[in-house]
Structure 1
Amino acid sequence: MRRILIVGAGQSGLQLALGLQSKGYEVTLMSNRTADEIRSGRVMSTQCMFHTALQHERDLGLNFWESQAPRIEGVGVSVAGPDASRPVDWVGRLDGFAQSVDQRVKMAGWMETFAQRGGQLVIHGAAVSDLDFFARTYDLVMVAAGKGELVSMFGRDASRSPYTEPQRALAVSYVHGLGPRPEHPDFDAVRCNLVPGVGELFVMPTLTTSGRADILFWEGIPGGPLDVFQGVTDPGEHLSLTLELMERFTPWEYARATKVELTDAGGTLAGRYAPTVRNPVGRLPGGGLVLGVADVVVANDPITGQGSNSASKCAASYLASIVERGEEAFDEEWMRGAFERYWATAGPVVKWTNAMLGAPPEHVLQLIGAASALQPVADRFANGFDDPSDFEGFFFEEEKAAAYLAEVGAPTPPLP
Structure 2
Amino acid sequence: MRKILIVGAGQSGLQLALGLQQHGYEVTLMSNRTADEIRAGRVMSTQCMFHTALQHERDLQLNFWESQAPRIEGLGVSVAAPDSSRAVDWVGKLDGYAQSVDQRLKMAGWLETFAQRGGQVVVHGAAVSDLDYFSRTYDLVLVSAGKGELVSMFERDASRSPYDTPQRALAVAYVHGLGPRPEHPEFDAVRCNLVPGVGEMFIMPTVTLSGRADILFWEGVPGGPLDAFQGVKDPNEHLALTLELMEKYLPWEYARATRVELTDAGGTLEGRYAPTVRKPVGRLPSGGLVLGVADVVVANDPITGQGSNSASKCAAAYLASILERGDKPFDEEWMQSAFDRYWETAQHVTKWTNAMLAPPPEHVLNIIGAAGGLQPVADRFANGFNDPADFENFFYDPAKAEAYLAEVTQG
Q: Distance in 1 between matches of 2:386 and 2:248?
A: 31
Return the alpha-carbon distance in structure 2 between the equivalents of residues 10 and 128 of structure 1: 19
Q: 1:136 and 2:140 equivalent?
A: no
CA distance in 2, matches of 1:298, 1:225: 29
User: Are 1:92 and 2:92 counterparts?
Assistant: yes
Contact 1:163 1:274 in 2 (8 A): yes
**2:324 aligned residue:** 324
Aligned partners of 1:61, 1:78: CA distance in 2, in Å? 36
Provide the residue aligned with 2:409 in structure 1.
Answer: 409
- Counting only pairs closer than 5 Å after superposition, residues 21-40 of structure 1 correspond to structure 2 as 21-40=21-40
How many Å separate the matches in 2 of 1:400 and 1:340?
Answer: 28
1:352 and 2:321 are equivalent in the alignment: no
Structure 1 partner of 2:259: 259
SS in 1 for 2:142: strand
**How far apart in 2 are the matches of 1:410 and 1:379?**
17
Partner of 2:289: 289
Q: Distance in 2 between matches of 1:212 and 1:185?
A: 16
- CA change 1:204–1:410 in 2 (3 A) is farther
Q: Distance in 2 between matches of 1:397 and 1:85?
A: 30
**Deviation digits for residues 20-61 of structure 1 (CA, Å, limit 9, x no counterpart):** 000000000000000000001000000000000000000000
Matches within 5 A, 1:234-253: 234-253=234-253
Q: Which amino acid aligns with 2:63?
A: N
SS class of match (1:323): helix
Is residue 15 of structure 2 the alignment partner of residue 10 of structure 1?
no
Where 2:409 maps in the other structure, the secondary structure is coil
Counterparts of 1:410 and 1:160, CA distance in 2: 38
Shift in Å, 1:245? 0.3
1:35 aligned partner, one-letter code? A
Residues in 1 aligned to 2:383 and 2:347: alpha-carbon distance in whole angstroms: 17
SS in 2 for 1:408: helix
Shift of 1:196: 0.1
Aligned equivalent of 2:44? 44
Whether the aligned pair in 2 keeps the contact of 1:69 and 1:206 (CA below 8 Å) is yes
Give distance in 1, aligned partners of 2:409 and 2:178: 37
Contact residue 33 and residue 124 of structure 1 kept, 8 A: yes
Cα distance between partner residues in 2 of 1:161 and 1:113: 36
User: 2:276 aligns to what?
Assistant: 276
Amino acid at match of 1:239: L
Separation (CA, whole Å) in 1 of partners of 2:158 and 2:122: 34
* Residue identity matched to 1:382: A
- Structure 2 letter corresponding to 1:346: A
- 1:410 is displaced (CA, Å) by 6.6
Instruction: Kindly indicate whether residue 199 of structure 2 is the aligned counterpart of residue 199 of structure 1.
Output: yes
SS at match of 2:43: coil
Task: Output the CA distance in 2 between the equivalents of 1:410 and 1:257.
Answer: 40
The answer as to whether partners of 1:370 and 1:410 remain within 8 angstroms in 2 is no
The whole-number CA distance in structure 2 between the counterparts of 1:181 and 1:406 is 31
Instruction: Map Cα deviations across residues 285-321 of structure 1 (whole Å, 9 max, x no partner).
Output: 0000000000000000000000000000000000000
Distance 1:410 1:359, change over 3 A: farther
Partner of 2:363: 363
Match for residue 387 of structure 2?
A: 387
- Asked whether the 8 Å contact 1:280–1:291 carries over to 2, the reply is yes
Residue type at the aligned position of 2:23? K
Instruction: Give the letter for the 1:98 counterpart.
Output: A
1:410–1:172: structure 2 CA closer, same or farther, 3 Å change rule?
A: farther
Gaps of at least 5 residues in structure 2 are: none
Deviations 1:183-205 (A, max 9, x none): 10000000000000000000000
Q: Aligned Cα RMSD in Å?
A: 0.7
Amino acid across the alignment from 1:45: S
Deviation readout 1:315-374 (Å, 9 max, x if unpaired): 000000000000000000000000001000100000000000000000000000000000
- Tell me by how many angstroms 1:263 deviates: 0.3
* Cα separation, 1, equivalents of 2:284 and 2:400: 46
Residue 414 of structure 1 corresponds to: none
Letter in 2 for 1:246: M
| 8 Å contact from structure 1 (residues 50, 386) kept in 2 | yes
Instruction: Give ranges in structure 1 of 5+ residues lacking alignment.
Output: 412-416
Which residue is 2:298 aligned to?
298
For residues 408 and 104 of structure 1, what CA distance do their matches in structure 2 show? 43
- 2:124 aligned partner, one-letter code: H
Task: Tell whether the 8 Å contact from 1:374 to 1:410 is kept in structure 2 after alignment.
Answer: no
> Partner of 1:214 in structure 2?
214
**How many pairs align?**
411
Q: Distance in 1 between matches of 2:390 and 2:370?
A: 18
CA deviation profile, 1:80-137 (whole Å, cap 9, x unmatched)? 0000000100000000000000000000000000000000000000000000000000
**Structure 1 consecutive aligned stretches of length 4 or more whose deviation exceeds 2 Å:** none
Q: In the aligned structure 2, how far is the partner of 1:282 from the partner of 1:242?
A: 39
Distance, in Å, in 2 between the alignment partners of 1:229 and 1:409 is 43
Task: Name the SS for the 2:86 alignment partner.
Answer: coil
Which residue of structure 1 aligns with residue 186 of structure 2?
186
Equivalents in 2 of 1:312, 1:341: separation in Å?
14
Normalising by structure 1, we get a TM-score of 0.98
Match of 2:122 in 1: 122
Identity of aligned residues (%): 83
Contact 1:274–1:301 (CA<8 Å) still a contact in 2?
A: yes
Identify which range, 149-158 or 402-411, moves more after superposition.
402-411
Does the alignment pair 1:79 with 2:112? no
Instruction: Give the 3-state SS of the residue equivalent to 1:64 in structure 2.
Output: coil
